[in-house]
Amino acid sequence: MSLQEIFATRAGRMKASEIRELLKLLDQPDIISFAGGIPDPALFPKAAFQEAFADVLNGPLAGQALQYSTSEGHKPLRDWLATHMQAIGIPATPDNILITSGSQQALDYLGKLFLSPGDTALVGWPTYLGALGAFNAYEPRYDKLDPLSNRSGADYCAAAQAAGGSAKFAYLSVDFANPTGATVSRAARERVIDLAEEMDIAVIEDAAYQALRFDGEVIPPILALEAARRGGDIEECRTIYCGSFSKTLSPGLRVGWVCAAMPVIRQLVLMKQAADLHSATLNQIAITQVAETHFDAHIETIRTAYRARRDVMLDALAAHMPEGVSWTRPEGGMFIWVTLPDSLDGADLLARSLESERVAFVPGHAFFADGSGRNTLRLSYATSDEARISEGIKRLGNLIGKALDS
Amino acid sequence: MSLQEIFATRAGRMKASEIRELLKLLDQPDIISFAGGIPDPALFPKAAFQEAFADVLNGPLAGQALQYSTSEGHKPLRDWLATHMQAIGIPATPDNILITSGSQQALDYLGKLFLSPGDTALVGWPTYLGALGAFNAYEPRYDKLDPLSNRSGADYCAAAQAAGGSAKFAYLSVDFANPTGATVSRAARERVIDLAEEMDIAVIEDAAYQALRFDGEVIPPILALEAARRGGDIEECRTIYCGSFSKTLSPGLRVGWVCAAMPVIRQLVLMKQAADLHSATLNQIAITQVAETHFDAHIETIRTAYRARRDVMLDALAAHMPEGVSWTRPEGGMFIWVTLPDSLDGADLLARSLESERVAFVPGHAFFADGSGRNTLRLSYATSDEARISEGIKRLGNLIGKALDS
């Protein structure tokens, strides 16, 4: 971009101010908001962080915590994460881990690492908006990843080449994904590995919600399934796992991680060194202590709270939604995805809902790389109490009923 | 890049392991190291951070501090920084400020914003290695920015166009720069504005060391000089100021900022939103408290300590360096730049110095975009006590004397 173009464009301002207006609106106490994509701050392990930051800043690591550190991240945190990865079936060592500033940064770096303008990224339809935002900077083309369809790797490759680039990776949010709440089945995970092998491309596994399973059968991460195929050798794996503490301990500390074969990690370390040197040292040391002492118990607390809210929202949807409306039944995470009859538009409904019902949600079309999905909504149950969830869904159901009748 | 290329390359490993070996070597207590580019951890305001983190995590902002926040950064911190900018002559409002994860991240984003492969970045010769590292990701060509030479803006533009791209910005580290310790004169700053105007390009002003002036006359930042030309209107300015708390309060928290006209800030906010959402909320809130309560007094403490170390190093250089060796006399910051007679090579000298004298420094050629400068060294006086500075320079002077005699 040139300085002249920057001074000429006003797009940035309009978008930011629109978002700010919307947030201001949602901040009013009489709005019941299912719009947020954020965890409930009442569930942060505040006492554990108070203790950890005090311990670090008053202890022998204080000087180190305030100093520059290595780009790959704090070794004891990478040790803890390697053990955590092993517990979910991924044979990782600390050298397979890079600490990032949230998993958003991992997605940005992976876009930067793999994509040249015109290359193809295979993504779900819909998919995580932040992933599209991160990848967009590198000007890819998107193709719809549909592992259980009849399309072969050669079909995807031919389409990518016809568009003037190469297919570079398949990106999937695997468990209780943002925005749909859906989980990728074991068969689809295995098929993604087959496709990636056929195409000789990477798989980016976004596991931001992985630890938040409430019920149902645990499905191993794609990286675990691939490692099992390779005799337990992660160094032979093409899958790149992106994890985060944002949905479990705290998003405000900006600590996430990438787990992958060492050649990939080494490239990302060089990239991180050039881009921001390293993630905050103090935060990495403090979160290590919180993870070591509180992770498992805290996960149980969050799961219990979110499970109850999901159950209330599912019950309310069953009670109040008119015929023709369907929704997902997530086994974890924060989101339920609603599909309206084709005649309704999520953005129109939001405007009417804010005006007459004071209920907020996110229209679903934003999550589609091709701008489709106008008749869908994303609802989050993470930040509302159970009474407000019931009331909000009741109001929304009535509004949709009226909209269908008119 | 493709997955195959990543798995094929071993360059990442070699570089990282080499650096690790060097760091391991420098970690030995009998080495006197002038190699670091880092502040003295004994000078971090540890007590102020203990108090600030405890206050934030035990106070009403705890939930906010652990939560997601806005990409532009914590408003009270942007307020404090706007006032800080005004105090050094820059008519900024909080809307002219973006919080970044260190100024390294600002350099990465500015490279991403401006540079396409083959474009030209005008940089000093030598210049900050981290800036080259950040810009390199966007594959620019470099041209030597020499504001007081006879080259006109048209000359620079013609060279850039002949190389198949456009000149996009001039980058300068202005005060007591890493690696030379040199300060860009007022005349050169004014001339850079003239050149940038003639070429209609941006100026990136790296002010990482700006607050660390020990003596000499304060020279206004380029952005202040440009704003003065524009009747005090920062919105008419092409200069982008990059600041950091890394050299004043703590690098481990990763808090820096960009100060520029709003259209530039808005583009960078969108970029940050896509790349890592925002810098750590907790760190921004805590550093606001430390800045509000301790910044001025703490700067005095650091300046006093570093000034004494610089004086000792300058005295020792005068006492022990053989004829034909010259060095800079920095008015602040952390570095002295030594130029050896042409017959000597800094990298060879380092190998010999580590072996026989146990003194470390950084060979200067790494800081030249064109790989020249083989007869230069960077010395940091920031992390050694005065006795070790005297002893180390004495040993180094002896070694250089011997090398010149042989």
The per-residue pLDDT for range A132-151, each reduced to its tens digit, is 999 999 999 999 999 999 99
The Cα A405–Cα B373 span in angstroms is 78
pLDDT level of residue A30 (50, 70, 90 thresholds): confident
What is the mean predicted confidence (pLDDT) over A354-369? 88
The Cα A303–Cα A41 span in angstroms is 14
User: With contact defined as beta carbons under 8 Å apart, do A268 and A204 qualify?
Assistant: no
What is the mean predicted confidence (pLDDT) over A276-294? 98
B134–A275 CB contact, under 8 Å: yes
Domains of chain B listed by start with CATH number: 16-45+297-405 (3.90.1150.10), 47-293 (3.40.640.10)
The answer, for B24 touching chain A at a CB cutoff of 8 Å, is no
Tokens (6 digits) for B235: 């919105």
Q: Which of A101, A246, A252 sits opposite B101 (nearest CB)?
A: A101
Tokens 């004071």 sit at which residue? A358
User: With contact defined as beta carbons under 8 Å apart, do B43 and B301 qualify?
Assistant: yes
Q: Hey, which residues 373-402 in chain B have their CB within 8 Å of chain A?
A: none
Classify residue B235 by its DSSP letter: G
Whether the predicted pLDDT of A9 surpasses 70: no
**Which residues from B are below 8 Å from A3, CB to CB?**
114, 168-169, 200-202, 238
Q: Hey, which residues 238-257 in chain B have their CB within 8 Å of chain A?
A: 238, 246, 250-254
Q: Which helix (H) or strand (E) holds B241?
A: strand B239-244
pLDDT digits (tens, 9 = 90+) for B111-154: 999 999 999 999 988 899 899 999 999 999 999 999 999 999 99
Share of chain A above pLDDT 90, in %: 88
User: With contact defined as beta carbons under 8 Å apart, do A22 and A28 qualify?
Assistant: no
> What is the reported pLDDT for A10?
42
The Cα A192–Cα A197 span in angstroms is 8
Q: C-alpha distances in angstroms, B93 versus A148, B9, B77, B85?
A: 53, 47, 12, 9
Tokens (6 digits) for A277: 């040197």
C-alpha distance from A18 to closest chain B C-alpha (Å): 13
Tokens 């992660």 sit at which residue? A234
Share of chain A above pLDDT 70, in %: 95
Cis before B251? omega within 30:
no
- What residues contact A113, with CB distance under 8 A and at least 6 apart? A267, A268, A271, B1, B6
Assign A9 to helix, strand or coil: coil
The Cα A185–Cα A76 span in angstroms is 33
The Cα B299–Cα A89 span in angstroms is 50
The answer, for A87 touching chain B at a CB cutoff of 8 Å, is no
Q: What is the DSSP string of B223-234?
A: HHHHHHHTTT-G
User: With contact defined as beta carbons under 8 Å apart, do A102 and A253 qualify?
Assistant: no
The Cα B64–Cα B73 span in angstroms is 13
Whether the predicted pLDDT of A255 surpasses 80: yes
The Cα B300–Cα A156 span in angstroms is 62
Pairing between β-strand A97-100 and β-strand A256-259 as defined by DSSP bridges? antiparallel
The answer, for A343 touching chain B at a CB cutoff of 8 Å, is no
Angle, in degrees to the nearest 10, between helices A186-199 and A153-162? 50
Searching chain B, which residue's CA lies closest to the CA of residue A114? B1
The answer, for A24 touching chain B at a CB cutoff of 8 Å, is no
C-alpha distance from A276 to closest chain B C-alpha (Å): 5
Whether the predicted pLDDT of A278 surpasses 90: yes
Identify the segments of chain B with pLDDT beneath 70: 9-27, 369
Assign B111 to helix, strand or coil: helix
Q: In what order do the strands lie in the sheet with A97-100?
A: A97-100, A256-259, A239-244, A202-206, A167-173, A120-123, A141-144
> What is the reported pLDDT for B281?
98
Tokens (6 digits) for A336: 């339920």
Whether the predicted pLDDT of A6 surpasses 80: no
Tokens (6 digits) for A16: 């930011």
pLDDT level of residue A26 (50, 70, 90 thresholds): low
User: With contact defined as beta carbons under 8 Å apart, do B111 and B134 qualify?
Assistant: yes
The backbone torsions φ and ψ at residue B172, rounded to the nearest 5 degrees and listed phi first, read: -140, 135
Distance of CA B353 to the CA centre of its chain: 26
C-alpha distance from B401 to closest chain A C-alpha (Å): 35
From the list A294, A281, A284, the residue with the least C-alpha distance to A249 is A294
User: With contact defined as beta carbons under 8 Å apart, do B172 and B222 qualify?
Assistant: yes
pLDDT level of residue A12 (50, 70, 90 thresholds): very low
Whether the predicted pLDDT of A68 surpasses 50: yes
Across chain A, what does the average pLDDT equal?
A: 93
Searching chain B, which residue's CA lies closest to the CA of residue A166? B2
What B79-84 contacts at long range (C-beta under 8 Å, 24+ apart), as own/partner pairs, is: B80/B288, B80/B291, B80/B292, B81/B243, B81/B257, B81/B259, B84/B291, B84/B295
> What is the reported pLDDT for A3?
75
**Which residues from B are below 8 Å from A4, CB to CB?**
200
> What is the reported pLDDT for B366?
78
Assign B360 to helix, strand or coil: strand
From the list A196, A184, A190, A227, the residue with the least C-alpha distance to A331 is A184
The Cα A26–Cα A67 span in angstroms is 39
The Cα A172–Cα A249 span in angstroms is 23
Whether the predicted pLDDT of A20 surpasses 80: no
The backbone torsions φ and ψ at residue A390, rounded to the nearest 5 degrees and listed phi first, read: -60, -50
pLDDT digits (tens, 9 = 90+) for A189-210: 999 999 999 999 999 999 999 9
> What is the reported pLDDT for A11?
39
Tokens (6 digits) for B57: 């995590």
Whether the predicted pLDDT of A245 surpasses 60: yes
> What is the reported pLDDT for B1?
78
Whether the predicted pLDDT of A14 surpasses 80: no
The answer, for A113 touching chain B at a CB cutoff of 8 Å, is yes
> What is the reported pLDDT for B21?
60
